[in-house]
Amino acid sequence: MAGNRTLTIVKPDAFAAGKAGKIIAHLEGADFKVVAARVMHLTTVQAEEFYGVHRERPFFRSLVTFMTSGKCMPLVLERADAVAELRTVIGSTDPAEAAEGTVRKLYAESKERNAIHASDSDENASRESRFFFAESEIL
Ligand code: CMP
């Protein structure tokens, strides 16, 4: 059975533009409950580790530079079928391809500066949640 938690990040583009509140309200409007949240500024080492799976991709260095360019906001979210539902709500990686009304269509600038991250599997949701939060911080 699909899990009921996933990890999201309001990325530095959206956070700096003052869109964090609107994005979280959008997610709550889609029945997600916030069960952990923090504001932080990722270090290069943290961003490289978090996106390690993309290390060989041509956009890796640029992605790390972007993700360390300002504050971001990781959150753990809860609802039924959380991973799949969040990916539907945020839309395609590239906002040009994202469906109308999705978070990325509304708030993303580009394929890289795309406002929000979402885990792509239950396994990664657990791994990514543990990356940012101790078990005792997820309520
Ligand atoms: P995210 O869902 O956080 O997962 C990996 C991130 O890499 C993605 O969102 C984008 O920010 C970035 N990304 C993925 N593909 C590209 C690409 N082709 N060019 C630039 N950035 C990309």
Is 49 within a domain? Answer: yes
Is 138 within a domain? Answer: no
The Cα–Cα gap between 109 and 28 comes to 22
Tokens of 118: 């979402």
Q: Which residues of 79-120 form beta strands (DSSP E)?
A: 116-118
Which of 93, 102, 121, 132 gets mutated to test ligand 1 (max ligand atoms within 8 A of its CB)?
Answer: 93
Angle 33-28-130 from CA coordinates, rounded to 5° = 40
**Does the Cβ of 27 fall within 6 Å of ligand 1?**
no
Per-residue pLDDT of the chain in tens (139 residues, 90 and over written 9): 478 999 999 999 999 999 999 999 999 999 999 999 999 999 999 999 999 999 999 999 999 999 999 999 999 999 999 999 999 999 999 999 999 999 999 999 999 999 999 999 999 999 999 999 999 999 9
136 CA distance to ligand 1 centroid (A)? 30
- Nearest to 84, CA basis, from 13, 30, 130: 30
**Domain span including residue 122:** 5-133
Q: What is the per-residue pLDDT for 1? A: 46
Q: What is the per-residue pLDDT for 108? A: 97
| Reported pTM | 0.97
Domain count, the chain: 1
Is 63 within a domain? Answer: yes
**Does the Cβ of 59 fall within 6 Å of ligand 1?**
yes
Is 86 within a domain? Answer: yes
What's 107's domain CATH number?
Answer: 3.30.70.141
**8 Å CB contact between 77 and 32:** yes
DSSP assignment letter at 97: G
The Cα–Cα gap between 136 and 139 comes to 7
Is 82 within a domain? Answer: yes
- Nearest to 13, CA basis, from 125, 108, 135: 108
**Does the Cβ of 111 fall within 6 Å of ligand 1?**
yes
